[in-house]
A and B are shown apart, each in its own frame.
Chain A
Amino acid sequence: MLNRRFVLMGLALLSGRGALAALPAPSGKKVLSITGRIGAPNQGTNAVFDMAMLESLGLVTLRTTTPWFTGEVVFEGVPMTTLMDAIGASGEKLMVFALNDYTTEIPMADFAKYKPILAVKRDGRYMPVSDKGPLFIVYPFDSSAELKSQKFYSRSAWQIARMEVV
């Protein structure tokens, strides 16, 4: 409960900030590349992020159970709405591609409605590829019975490397 309030507060504070600030160029190792209908590219027509850039958007905490871990897990990450605002996304949906070629499709409306995050840490640690890293879209599954379904489990992609706004 407390966490959720914190999440909401973080969202309230950070929303709009990404849209105002121009995206800097990545200086570290690239972890995420977003293509498609975006308004603030920083490398050609793409928006490219290193881990520090993602973290600078502001991290929130999400505590939830999942089908893939036993018991509750604490994730830290960027709210998907913040990320979409930061890149000036103007599409209907987001195609997500994982390192293992897993592909999933998330309606943009999901982000405001269910408030999923792009997690960078699990239980306080960065996630390696061998442990669903480096990026992992996590829905707050415990907040609604609706989310505990195959539909949202399939949208929760891990080992994310690339996204496309369409």
Chain B
Amino acid sequence: MQTAARLWKWLLIVAVVLLACAAVYVSYELYRHQRILETSIRYNVAWSVSQSVTEFLRLQQVIYQAALDGEDSEASLRFDICVNRVSLLRAGEVARFVSSDPVLTGVVDRFEQRLRQIEPLIETIADPKNARQALDILEPGTADLIRLSAASNVYSAGLAAEGQADLIEMHWLFTTFVGVLIVLGVILIIVLVRRMTELGSTKHRLEESAQELRLALVQADAAGKAKARFLATMSHEVRTPMNAVLGLAGALLDEQLPPRQREVVETIRTSGDNLLRILNDILDFSKLDADCMTLEDAPFSPAALTREAVSLLAPRAAMKNLTVSADADADVAPMLMGDAGRIRQILLNLISNAVKFTEIGHVSVKLRQIERAGGTTGENATIEWIVRDTGIGIPQDRIGGLFGEFMQADATISQRYGGTGLGLAISKRLVLQMKGAIWVESNPGEGAVFRVRLTLPVADPPPVVVADGRDATRQFQEALSVMGRPLRILFAEDNPTNQFVIRQLLKGFAVNLDMVADGTEAVESASSFLYDLICMDMRMPDLDGPGAARAIRAMGGRLAKIPIIAITANAFPEDVKTCLDSGMNHFVAKPVNRDTLLLAILDVLDMSRVNEPVPINQPIPVDTGNTSPMVDPDAFAELLEALGEDGIGEMLTVFVAEMERRLAFLAVGTDDRELLIREIHSTKGAAGTIGAARLCELAAAIELRLKAGETWRPDDRTTLADAFHAYIGDPLVSPHMSAPVS
């Protein structure tokens, strides 16, 4: 196909060149011919000679007439005309003919001689004697001239033949040219038709391929989206239970535990942490693989980031008696634009590897600036992190594959040191996505030097506070003591376990925590109570976090500015953006640990300055409820009358069962204020219905107190239980009891 196409192409070129040559040649021939026609004067020689013969004969005729009649009509004129003919035979084209043959020249010479001989006789030609004498001289010349005429005819015919030959030559030239033209035209048409056919089929094939590609693209796109969705779901589904496990383990560790149990719980937590890290690694890697990784672009301090990363791993290094140092050159740009979280992840990976593979010595992290240059879009800085250790080193033949997937320098390494082996692969991909470079220099036994080089835009240095290693618990407690009252938090979380975890995390602080299970409830509660801040899960049935946040913001007034913290397992940057767009102020990724949560709360409180004293709207009733009788006799009598003996018995049974269940519930205790308030509210209602006046009054008082933000006191249950038992033991009531109370 290719060869044929080339052949045709060359054929076409040759054809066109030939055509051009032929055209030039024909043009030249035409020009030459025209020149010939112009220069050669094709005078009709035969005609001229025959005219001479005619005039010669007419002269003889005139003289003959004179000989007969003795009259000279026009002899003189005819003589002159004949003389003229002689000069014509001696000039121009005719002369050329005449001089071509000596015989012909002789004929013309004799013609002239005869005319000269008779010239003296012309004046007196009327004399018949003279006329006869002239005729005698002239007559022999007739045959001479006729011979000349015949020769001129041959000569003219020769000239004509020559012209004809020329014409024939031209004819052939043109015929050849036209033939060549036709052949070339045919070749041209064939080539064009072939090319068009080829183009047509190529176009058709291309269209088919394009259609296939489009289909493949749509399918790939759909597959990619499905994968991304699956990742998001995985992220949520995996992290949520892990969050619960880790949170509860943490809460357990806060309790007083026997040493053996503490050890077990610590193992649970450590293993959980490891598992979560591995899950995060795999998730990151999948995201990078699916091109789902979106890098943030925000200002950060590279020096602070370096120190932070090192300080995070310092405890681990300290446990192995390693020294860790962080050093940033002074000339490094103070602020750069980039994804600080991902850079931290890379550094943490490199530093933790260094710590992991170093038994004796030190790990040092150095940050330096290679170059800082202005570009078209602003200033860029090229910076380099050097993570150096004195560890076991890496064999030369393993360095190449070190950054590959699931790659570890030695299969035995994973047994000795653990890990997914994805850390460096993830780091490499992250660095590449940031258009940077990561490489390593190492020899076995001589430690390793990892370098990460990134070129990032220089950011204006705003006073950005970088997260520091502050003592969250202490700060939180200080903040609460400054406030001088419990912090009122509304927490929207649908998962009961997570609710429990959150309660555990905030246990021990002066916090009034109201827990609701969905967004609608969160919006309702936010509008009915004065909260200091709201924490909201991203995903909830009914109304999700962002939706609820928007609804709360829309209510205006105090709620327009109330701090809202988003809490979610969806750690994608898009989710963060969704949260912030919906009016939330902060973002805490799951698994939530106590420090993260407390720091987030501290941050938003600083932001909204709610630590200023807030006036309390209604006085909280202190301790009422000892005023009503145990049983309201009127109410009980009414009930008895309405229901009858059987009815009241049945009702008392239901009430007792409900109260027993409730008291059991209260004995276990709950931090779900809403639930508690509901339970107390139900107690109040049921007690009022059945005439348990004291119980009703006590429940009402507790409910009021709870709703005002006060805490549930363990003796509240005792109070309620006592009132309940007093009611069923009352002489008015006990006879109607159908079953003994356990």
Q: Is A66 touching B92 in the complex (CB atoms < 8 A)?
A: yes
- B33-41, B140-148, B608-616 - interface stretch: B33-41
Interface membership of B80, Cβ < 8 A: yes
With beta carbons under 8 angstroms apart, the residue of B42, B58, B81 that contacts A159 is: B81
Contact in complex: B77, A129 (CB < 8 Å)? yes
Q: Could you tell me if B93 and A100 are in contact, using CB atoms closer than 8 angstroms?
A: no
CB-defined contacts of B88 to chain A, threshold 8 Å: 68, 132
Near B by CB (< 8 A), chain A positions 84-141 give 99-100, 102, 128-132
Flag if B80 contacts A130 (CB, 8 Å).
yes
Which of chain A's residues have a CB closer than 8 A to the CB of B77? 99, 129
With A100-B51, A100-B55 already in contact, the answer to whether A159 and B43 are too (CB < 8 A) is no
- Counting CB contacts under 8 A, is A70 at the interface? yes
Query: How many of chain A's residues have a CB under 8 angstroms from any CB in B?
Result: 20
Which chain B positions have C-beta within 8 A of A159?
Answer: 81, 84
A69 to B93, CA, bound (A): 8
Contact A70–B92 (Cβ < 8 Å): yes
Q: B57-94: contact bitstring with A at CB < 8 Å (1 yes, 0 no)? A: 01000000000000000000101111110011001111
Is A67 a contact of B92 with CB atoms below 8 Å? yes
Across the interface, which residues of A come within 8 angstroms of B92, CB to CB? 66-70
A145: Cβ under 8 A from any B Cβ: yes
CA distance A35 to B352 in the complex (A): 132
Contact pattern, A 150-166, Cβ under 8 Å of B = 1, otherwise 0: 10010000110000000
State in angstroms the CA–CA spacing of A39 and B669 once bound together: 148
With contacts A67-B93, A68-B91 taken as known, whether A100 is within 8 angstroms of B34 at the C-beta atoms is no
Using Cβ atoms and an 8 Å threshold, which residues of chain B touch A153? 43-44
Does chain A have a CB within 8 A of B95? yes
Give A70 to B95 CA distance when docked, in angstroms. Answer: 9
Contact of A131 among B42, B84, B93, B95 (CB under 8 A): B84
Q: Which of A128, A130, A145 has the most chain B CB atoms closer than 10 A to its own CB?
A: A130
- Tell me if A37 counts as interface (CB < 8 A to partner B): no
| Cβ B84 vs Cβ A130 within 8 A | yes
- Cα–Cα, bound, A102→B77 (Å): 14
**Which of these, A70, A100, A102, A158, contacts B91 with CB under 8 Å?**
A70
Q: In chain B, residues 262-291, which have Cβ atoms closer than 8 Å to a Cβ of chain A?
A: none
CB A103 to nearest CB in B, in angstroms, measures 13
- Give residues of chain B (79-135) contacting chain A, Cβ–Cβ below 8 Å: 79-84, 87-88, 91-95
Residue of A nearest to B34 (CB): A145
Are A130 and B87 in contact, with the CB atoms below 8 A?
yes
Q: A100-B55, A150-B42, A150-B44 are in contact. Are A69 and B91 (CB under 8 A)?
A: yes
Q: Are B80 and A128 in touch, CB under 8 angstroms?
A: yes
On whether the beta carbons of B84 and A67 are closer than 8 Å, the reply is no
Q: What residues of B have a CB within 8 angstroms of the CB of A150 in the complex?
A: 42-44
A166 to B631, CA, bound (A): 159
Chain A residue nearest in CB terms to B45: A67
| Partner pick for A129 among B42, B43, B51, B81, CB 8 A cutoff | B81
Residue with the greatest number of chain B CB neighbours at <10 A, chosen from A128, A131, A158: A131
Closest chain B residue to A149, Cβ basis: B42
**CB-nearest residue of chain B to A69:** B91
Contacts of B44 in A (CB 8 A): 150, 153
- Closest CB in chain A relative to B78 CB, distance in Å: 8
Q: In the complex the two chains form, is A145's CB within 8 Å of B38's CB?
A: yes
How many angstroms between the C-alpha atoms of A102 and B50 in the bound complex?
A: 13
Cα A66 to Cα B41 with chains together (Å): 8
With CB as the reference atom, state the residue of chain A lying closest to B79: A130
CA A100 – CA B57 in complex, angstroms? 12
- Chain B residues with CB below 8 A from A148, complex form: 37-38, 41
- The residues in A between 28 and 72 inclusive whose CB is less than 8 angstroms from any CB of B are 65-70
Given the contacts A67-B41, A100-B55, A129 and B34 also touching, CB distance less than 8 Å: no
Interchain CA distance A99-B82 in the complex, whole Å: 11
- Measured between beta carbons, the chain A residues less than 8 angstroms from B79 are 130
Bound-complex Cα distance A70 to B89 (A): 11
Residue pair B38, A130 in contact (C-beta under 8 Å)? no
A99–B80 Cα gap in the complex (Å)? Answer: 10
- Asked if B43 and A99 sit within 8 Å, CB to CB, the answer is no
A102 CB contacts on chain B under 8 angstroms: 51
Given contacts A67-B41, A145-B38, A148-B38, contact A129 B91 (CB under 8 A): no
**Cα distance A1–B95 in the bound complex, in angstroms:** 28
Inter-chain contacts of B93 with A (CB < 8 A): 67
**A100 partner residues in chain B, CB cutoff 8 A:** 51, 55, 58, 81
Q: List the B residue with the shortest CB-CB distance to A130.
A: B83
Interface string of B229-255 (1 = CB under 8 A from A): 000000000000000000000000000
> Ordered nearest first, which 10 A-B pairs have the shortest CB separation?
A130-B83, A129-B80, A67-B43, A130-B80, A145-B38, A67-B92, A68-B92, A67-B41, A130-B84, A100-B81
A-B contact pairs, 28 of them (CB 8 A): A65-B41, A66-B92, A67-B41, A67-B43, A67-B92, A69-B91, A69-B92, A70-B95, A100-B51, A100-B55, A100-B58, A102-B51, A129-B80, A129-B81, A129-B84, A130-B79, A130-B81, A130-B82, A130-B83, A130-B87, A132-B88, A145-B34, A148-B38, A148-B41, A150-B42, A150-B43, A153-B43, A159-B81
Q: What 18 new A-B contacts, CB under 8 Å, besides A130-B80, A130-B82, A131-B84?
A: A65-B41, A67-B41, A68-B43, A68-B88, A70-B91, A70-B92, A99-B81, A100-B51, A100-B58, A129-B80, A129-B81, A130-B81, A130-B87, A132-B88, A145-B34, A145-B38, A150-B43, A153-B44
Instruction: Enumerate chain A interface residues (CB-CB to B < 8 A).
Output: 65-70, 99-100, 102, 128-132, 145, 148, 150, 153, 158-159
B residues neighboring A (CB under 8 Å): 34, 37-38, 41-44, 51, 55, 58, 77, 79-84, 87-88, 91-95
